Structure 1
């Protein structure tokens, strides 16, 4: 008999990192818990962990676990209830000029070149800078997960890529990078709106956006999608 993944959660082993500088809030220390890297991860288990606020980075499944701070709130968009607002509709309209392709999640020179430029011009002060090909592979790719590159092209020029994981119940947004010259098209927002469309097309329920951090400017964009599910107190709370 196949084991229920809900029961399996109780038997999992997690490890906590030492306290380290928080990536989101200045002058804050953070602790992260990781799933045992020796654990064989199935899509059902990955889905269940995502439903309890965990995320993927490369081969690792993690979640913030800070003793005196709960600023990182896992959020997801219930796609069947989502209706774009005026700004989002305008973004979709402007983005119609670009070709959208759902591609295999695998290393390519053109995708890495765009990723490298994006980090160099937009996040040179971040933890992932300077990028390397190996860092790109270790961060975005994994042999055990079903992933896609949701790519946008201006004619044959790659201008944006959203790396997403396919769960049993939805799509998990892993990372999005884009050509800074196209910033006026709000490509990050366009990528999320296309994720919603892809989830609906495949009869999925959610797009998982990771963590909303109210006092972190670079994470506030997630609050513009309504309604929005927030994982608070070990349950999902719907914000309308």
Structure 2
């Protein structure tokens, strides 16, 4: 692929703040990727308005219209594949994906999770970090595998936990770092620098640490 020929499909469920970070990065001079499609499982997701404002094709595959997770995921695959993306990015997509879906995009499916994986897979990560008395928290970009939030990490951003933090204040600071590391990981993939091999991530041909590259926020 030549530069700017890495087509990225973004799946969202909500406000689309990480989508906006990716849109902003894709519009920079020399960016190696472009957003070809935005798909939401919720018709009221504000991220759809962000896509429309950017002139990006946007569509809805509403999970309520399907009788099973399998039938929803198959319809989602059809909607994605019509755009022939090179990479699929989950940006606040609040659905657990079937193994069939994950296998279909293996090695070209990224997610961002608001914790320093493998800590705090699943929901309520900020509250759990505070309850545990952790000194730091953060976010992780990782390849998606059949294990929920268990795929190989690519890059993490750490955020110190401050006295008086609430789940909301901590989430806000973590989100700032999400908007840094997600475009970075997508850029690496678009530049053919980032790959998934087995259950590990490689950057420039070298195995990454099991927790990925760690950056301080």
TM-score, normalization: structure 1? 0.25
Q: Which has the larger radius of gyration?
A: 1
